Amino acid sequence: MKSSYLLFALLVGFTFDSHAEKSVKLVGVVAGLSNDVALVEIQTSPGKNPVQLQLTAGKPENGVALVAMDAAKGKVSLNVDGAARELMFDEDMQHPTTDTQVEESLPLIHFRSLSLVSVISLYSNLKDRTILIHPQLGTPTFSLYQNFRTKEEAAEAIEKIFKDQNIATIRDGEHFIMVVPYSYTNVVTPKSDTLANSGPLIPVMSVNFRDFPLGGAVQTYADLMGKDIKDRPSAMDLSCCSTLTFYQETPLSRAEIAYALETQLAWHKLRFVPYEEGLKLESIR
């Protein structure tokens, strides 16, 4: 059924083998900016990609709960499947931070070799916007160990470490920010402020695509628009062998979600065009 794929896509998340021993690694802490947050990477079994979570006190995820934190020392206490664990940062030779002095009384962000997707998620929370992630950003990692007085200062610091790796942030209307390579800043066009939004907003994280098959995103867009894909085998051939990352950090209208998917499909050189009573996927030359 047409609606079944959309329902799956809107509810898609991560599941874990409850019998596997979780490998949990500390990759970041945020203290003094609204809620304290521990950024951890968990992996339940070999062969599965690790997943990075943002843990706040009283809100366990996947059997992992934050108990206590010493942000300045880079140390957290967790409860993992009922067992207490204490974690500290691994040594970071690529991004050394040992010479930096911080004030324990001030808000602090401390992360080491954090993945681009996780830093973008943190940045999204600081800006209270949903991020449109360009597929040509690569897989850089980032480290930061610095005090801040406000969320705005923290967001500016993240923009600086993005800039140091030739990554630009571009405001797109009231709810989005584009994160793109600097070499693409002259060819991307923010257009969300032209949308005619109406109807109820779709709640935060209703759409949660992490390395999601591009063909699934294509079908989700068609379902969202209430249209059939014409010549579906050809559409799936065009969208095979690639993935898309888009997670909804703010409430959005259906029109805004459709715009976000259209934008990121275009960055993959794909677009939908009206065709008879449905939609046809074609390559952008």
Can you tell me the mean pLDDT for 107-136? 92
Where residue 239 sits, what CATH number does that domain have? Answer: 3.55.50.30
On the question of pLDDT at 13 being above 70, the answer is no
* 76 found inside a domain: no
Q: How many domains is the chain partitioned into structurally?
A: 1
Asked if pLDDT for residue 238 goes beyond 60, the answer is: yes
Has residue 129 been placed in a domain?
no
Give the tens place of pLDDT for each residue, 155-207: 999 999 999 999 999 999 999 999 999 999 999 999 999 988 777 899 998 99
pLDDT bracket for residue 266 (50, 70, 90): very high
Residue 105 belongs to a domain: no
In a domain, residue 249? The reply is yes
Tell me the average pLDDT of the chain.
85
Is residue 17 over pLDDT 60? no
What pLDDT does 11 receive? 42
* Rounded average pLDDT over 270-281: 88
- What integer pLDDT is reported at residue 72 of this predicted model? 81
Residue 122 included in any domain:
no
Q: How far is CA 103 from CA 38, 108, 149, 222, in A?
A: 19, 8, 11, 51
User: Does 179 reside within a domain?
Assistant: no
Given a cut of 60, is residue 12 above it in pLDDT? no
In a domain, 209, yes or no: yes
Out of 36-45, 93-102, 110-119, least confident range? 93-102
Q: Higher pLDDT residue, 173 or 53? A: 173
Average the pLDDT over 12-25 and give the result: 57
Domain coverage including residue 213: 195-283
pTM: 0.82
SS (H, E, C) the chain: CHHHHHHHHHHCCCCCCCCCCCEEEEEEEEECCCCCEEEEEEECCCCCCCEEEEEECCECECCEEEEEEECCCCEEEEEECCEEEEEECCCCCCCCCCCCCCCCCCCEEEEEEEEHHHHHHHHHHHHCCEEEECCCCCCCEEEEEEECCCHHHHHHHHHHHHHHCCEEEEEECCCEEEEEEHHHCCCCCCCHHHCCCCCCCECCCCCEEEEEEHHHHHHHHHHHHCCCECCHHHHHHHCCCCEEEEECCCCECHHHHHHHHHHHHHHCCEEEEEECCEEEEEECC
Strand 130-133 versus strand 176-181 pairing type? parallel
Residue 225 within any structural domain of the chain: yes
Confidence class for position 100, pLDDT limits 50, 70, 90: low
